[in-house]
Chain A
Amino acid sequence: MEDAARILQLIVNGAASGCIYGLIALGFVLIYKATEMVNFAQGDIMMLGGFAAFSLITWLGLPYWVGGLLAIIITAAFGYLLDAVVLRRVIGQPQFAVVMLTLGLGFIFRAAAGITWGYDSVGFNTPFTNKTVDIGGLVLGEDNLSIIVGTVLLCIVLYLFFSKTRLGVAMQAASQNQLAAYYMGIPVRTIFSLIWAISAGVACLAGILLSPVSMIDVNMGGLAIKAFAAAVIGGFGSIPGSLIGGVIVGIVEQFAGYKLPAGFQEVTSNVVLLGMLLIRPQGLFAERMGKRV
């Protein structure tokens, strides 16, 4: 009985951290599907979003929900500007130019954050901090649950957005065939900037959800490496795939920490990633593509 409780705890923790990885991976995948660019600064945008929320809630004293929502909007606007001002200029350059560019941007973001907010970890009061909930005799942290619930809600919102709204359908079209979308009158470049905006907003949400569990600090973008594992498992083309991938990585990590000797937990996600790439590189839910020569 106790063992089952322990395992359930691990699963919930793993699912929670997995949701965060999945959210960051979601940001990667959204941008990659549309523009074939990989945003290596995604984790750092999450960090900036978290700090923005911190500033709004702690410095300006706004209530949690208002501050959080405002932070998401501000971060989304930042993502939009990033694409419109910087990323648009590198269309046509090979893929690793974009990799290097976003890596460089990550450096700048981290330095700017360090200057603005300092290098210590900060946190802010959320309705879920240090609260627990009792489900059938099992005590679970509300912070972890909030992550899972928040992620599920976001997925529903995104699903409805992409399938039911005109803008969402236009985004799907632009992702699949830019030229055809242009001919249909879809403003492709604006759409791509909007996709960056959504991606940034999702990253900010991830940061906000994460803050009760692990504080916000300049280097929290390092989680992005684990998000890569999530995205790869999901096949890098599929939104539900990224989340499932994230949850898998999160849960495997938790069990690794439990069963393996100390210090091996951190390497788990990398091993899973390499393993996936070697055994089934197209991920679990992949599209197969070929080229006509």
Chain B
Amino acid sequence: MILFQAQDISVRFGGIRAVDSVSFDVHDGEVFSIIGPNGAGKTTIFNLISRIYPSTSGRLIFEGKEFTRTPASQIASLGIARTFQNIELFPNATLLENLLIGRHCHSRVNFLSELAFLPSVRNAELRHREKVEDVIAFLGLERYRDSLIANLPYGVRKVVELGRALCIEPKLLLLDEPSSGLNVEETEGMGFWIEDIKKDLGITVIMVEHDMSLVNQVSDRVMALNYGKVLAMGTPQAVQSHPEVVKAYLGGEVESAA
């Protein structure tokens, strides 16, 4: 079943076509990776899907419904969550508060009842807290629960960013360079988490990644981009040995003997 579709999606910044008629489908329950050199437009695609940038043409379809013009603040309630390449956590709040903010799209309380902190609000808070504790247990973040994000090391913050996205209880998770800044062990750990997310939580993942070992470890299908255009799409092995992809990464002089 196709969960997400991008149809001829494009965006222009002035004269630059950052994303140029990109089309791809993502099936339910798969891990779909997007690779490409720097500046290829990978993160821009994520920004288009989370509607932070408006696209100049094309369509975005999720669960059969088009969401090309939906405002950015409604994407979370559709069931799409994302992480950011440069970690956009809330540094002056504790880890717990950061994750609780991730529950915001599931909040159904009325503003006036919040002012008086009525029992309905209290019970909702306790339920949100239970869900957040599930995510904390899943990711092993118990010891950092009450620390301010500003005091946490980079590797932990990456995991918190992932946790915050999971608190949205998404159907589709967009991971933007989950391994950047992590060492080898941490990257492997991230790979295991992505597999657990796929198998245990049943969440579909779209991942932008540079680390090819991680891509090979977890991906079902891969798409390669360069200069905003699709170069190749298919299994990880097929895409990585595709001549256009090799040329994009290594340059045009390679007379490939493979």
Contacts and interface: CB of A to CB of B under 8 A. Distances in A.
Direct contact of A and B (CB under 8 A): yes
B3 to A, nearest CB: 24
A37 to B, nearest CB: 21
Contacts of B13: 290
A293 B43 CA distance: 8
A269 B88 CA distance: 39
A290 B43 CA distance: 15
Interface in B13-64: 13, 43, 47, 52
B187 interface: no
Contacts of B84: 293
Contacts of A293: 43, 47, 52, 84-86, 88
Interface in B57-98: 84-86, 88
A293 B44 CA distance: 9
Interface in A20-77: none
Interface in A238-293: 290, 292-293
Contacts of B88: 293
A293 B52 CA distance: 9
A49 B13 CA distance: 46
Contacts of B47: 293
B56 to A, nearest CB: 15
Interface string B231-249: 0000000000000000000
A293 B46 CA distance: 10
Nearest to B53: A290
A292 B52 CA distance: 10
Contacts, number: 9
- By DSSP majority rule, is chain B's interface helix, strand, loop, or mixed? loop
Nearest to B82: A293
Contacts of A290: 13
Nearest to A292: B43
A292 B88 CA distance: 12
A15 B43 CA distance: 49
Contacts of A292: 43
Interface string B99-127: 00000000000000000000000000000
Nearest to A293: B84
A72 B13 CA distance: 45
Contacts of B86: 293
Interface string A148-190: 0000000000000000000000000000000000000000000
A290 B13 CA distance: 10
A268 to B, nearest CB: 37
A288 to B, nearest CB: 9
Nearest to A288: B14
B32 to A, nearest CB: 21
Nearest to A291: B52
A99 B15 CA distance: 38
Contacts of B85: 293
B40 to A, nearest CB: 14
A293 B84 CA distance: 7
Nearest to B52: A293
Nearest to B14: A288
Interface string B130-147: 000000000000000000
Contacts of B52: 293
B47 to A, nearest CB: 6
Interface string B173-195: 00000000000000000000000
A292 B84 CA distance: 11
Nearest to B47: A293
A293 B85 CA distance: 7
B83 to A, nearest CB: 11
A214 B13 CA distance: 49
Interface in A213-248: none
Ranked 9 nearest A-B pairs via Cβ: A293-B84, A293-B47, A293-B52, A293-B88, A293-B86, A293-B85, A293-B43, A292-B43, A290-B13
Interface of A: 290, 292-293
9 contacts: A290-B13, A292-B43, A293-B43, A293-B47, A293-B52, A293-B84, A293-B85, A293-B86, A293-B88
Given A293-B47, A293-B85, 7 more contacts: A290-B13, A292-B43, A293-B43, A293-B52, A293-B84, A293-B86, A293-B88
